[in-house]
Structure 1
Amino acid sequence: MTRTPVALKRRIASELRALRERKGLTLEAAAQRAEVTKSSLSRFENGHSAPKIHTLRALMAVYGASASLRAELEDLTRDAGRRGWRASLFGEGVEVPEWLRSYVGLEATARLLSIYSLFVPSLFQTPEYARTTLVAEGHDPETVEARLRLTIARQQLLTGGAATTEISAVVDESAVQRHVGDRSVLHNQILALAAANDLPNVMLRILPFSAGPVLSAGGGFVLLDLDPDPPLAFLEAYEIAQFVEGEAYLERFRRHFDLVSAAALGPEETNDFLVRTAKSL
């Protein structure tokens, strides 16, 4: 699978952190020896940015990296600096939060996405539903069009010729009971959710109100299996997002996803429910 700039930055970050730790250097000591700021080195090791080639070479010299590893990381750094096809989708001059750019890159490289959502996930939104939602959120027309293009492009994960990402989604019943746009917008969106369940790489289930309030508490999240890179959890609300790492934290999200999955309707029951709901509008 082609790796995006975000995934490449994570790989570079992992290698740099491992090299420094094997050398027994603190972040401050390594930064001083390589003549970079401590904050810059921290960003490199967190995957928030990639170093320039000359900075990477300085770090490699400090760490005593092998010639083969130096060459590999230089290649990765060059690739990470290139603008991919997603960059143009945002549009020139359109302000797009960095978390969204990062998430799109990670999403595209995931082996498995486990989604729990109180709303219709973007990956399953029809263009009309997505546009109505974006307008309601108060975005300016240019941003609405840019994000709509991005939403449609992201949906290649579902139907593209190289759709290798598995998607397991649990969607709260409130998502299909909440009126968005006119009747036809919601009607078509609900039927699109049912159609998504017929895709070979998708399993979508509805968490009914009858499951009770406890299971639906806490808000939505996405678990990203990024094998061979470490997994992540992603949370977003009100244009504020957080990526969560660490096995102890991720295990909590896995347990919660297992709980809502167990309480959700099965795929066939979900489709029956969605068709009935669409007919009732």
Structure 2
Amino acid sequence: MPPRRAVTGRSQEPRQRFVEELRLLRAQKGDSLRQLGDVLGWDWSLFGKMESGQTIGGPEVAEALDQHYGTPGLLLTLWELAAADPTQFKERYRRYMTLERGAVGLWQYSVSRPPGLLQTDEYARDALAGGGFTDQELNQQVEARTGRRKLLDGEGPPPFRAILSEAVLRTSLCDAQAWREQLEHLAESSERPNIVLHVLPFGAGPHSLTGTDVMFLRLPDGHTVAYAETDVGGELIEETSRVERLHRAYDAVRDMALPPAESRKFITRMLEEMPCEPST
């Protein structure tokens, strides 16, 4: 069993402590990153990214490392602390945004709100208004979110496929006009050549992505990463095996969803069901 580490101000930072422990344990074991990858069955680059702090990997990786190093529960506990660190969410999301800007293909499943790439200014403002921002901060957040739409504009934009749970179309804004504009924007977006929308009706039944928003990014090198978000936080997933499992779940949900033409009609019916605005 490796000696107990001294607790320092730096090592009390969850993410940094996890990184330090990974480096120390591998140095003591005498493994190279490639040897570690060969033994545990993951691409060795994942361990390099974990030791540089670019990612913390997943819980199954921490468990495998615990077993390899003979430190039962230590790395998994440190992983859980790092994952719960509020700064971790911000770092993961910043990296995700960087990757999104360079993506050559995107596909998403949305649980209860329109994808950020397809939100109108008013929808984004209403969705962000409860975040405790000052007026200036709120304006900045809205600009940052709606600015992402530029990714789908211009010459040669990347293809984007989104599956919308019916809850997305049923969870309306209090401002009826702003909600109508959001539905109209979805309907118009579905007619663009680089955007494909599917609606997953309530009647499709339960599935493996219930409660999880997930976005996949295909990067210029052909690699795919995923960003999964639940009510308690988000996680950037770069490990190939985990991305593939999520991708299979996404494909199964897409098979349950309505085809694009029927989905467009579904959104149009939602617009027709809205009460007419009172005449002035």
Of residues 114, 128, 133, the one that matches 1:134 is 128
Rounded to whole Å, the distance in 2 between the matches of 1:231 and 1:112 is 9
Is 2:118 the partner of 1:124? Answer: yes
Q: CA deviation at 1:144?
A: 1.7
Q: List runs of 5+ in structure 2 lacking aligned partners.
A: 1-29, 34-47, 56-88, 275-280
| Secondary structure of 2:191's aligned partner | coil
Q: Which deviations, in whole Å up to 9, do the C-alpha atoms of 1:18-62 show, x marking residues without a partner?
A: xxxxxx9747xxxxxxxxxxxxx86784547xxxxxxxxxxxxxx
Matched-pair contact (CA < 8 Å) for 2:212–2:229: no
The residue number in structure 2 matching 1:81 is none
Of residues 207, 210, 214, the one that matches 2:207 is 214
- Give the AA of the match of 1:104: M
The residue number in structure 1 matching 2:101 is 108
| Secondary structure of 1:221's aligned partner | strand
Paired-residue identity, %:
29
Is 2:166 the partner of 1:173? Answer: yes
Matched-pair contact (CA < 8 Å) for 2:173–2:179: yes
Matched-pair contact (CA < 8 Å) for 1:114–1:168: yes
The residue number in structure 2 matching 1:255 is 248
Matched-pair contact (CA < 8 Å) for 1:158–1:199: no
| Secondary structure of 1:97's aligned partner | helix
The range that moved more, 115-124 or 153-162, is 153-162
Is 2:177 the partner of 1:147? Answer: no
**CA 1:223–1:240: 2 relative to 1, 3 Å:** same
Matched-pair contact (CA < 8 Å) for 1:173–1:208: yes
Is 2:99 the partner of 1:97? Answer: no
**CA 1:192–1:278: 2 relative to 1, 3 Å:** same
Q: Which deviations, in whole Å up to 9, do the C-alpha atoms of 1:241-276 show, x marking residues without a partner?
A: 211122221121111111111111111111111111
Q: List runs of 5+ in structure 1 lacking aligned partners.
A: 1-23, 28-40, 49-95
**CA 1:26–1:266: 2 relative to 1, 3 Å:** same
Rounded to whole Å, the distance in 2 between the matches of 1:192 and 1:42 is 39
Rounded to whole Å, the distance in 1 between the matches of 2:90 and 2:122 is 23
Equivalent residue pairs, number = 197
TM-score (ref. length: structure 2): 0.64
Rounded to whole Å, the distance in 2 between the matches of 1:216 and 1:114 is 14
Q: CA deviation at 1:153?
A: 1.7
**CA 1:115–1:42: 2 relative to 1, 3 Å:** closer
**CA 1:174–1:159: 2 relative to 1, 3 Å:** same
TM-score (ref. length: structure 1): 0.64
Q: CA deviation at 1:140?
A: 3.1
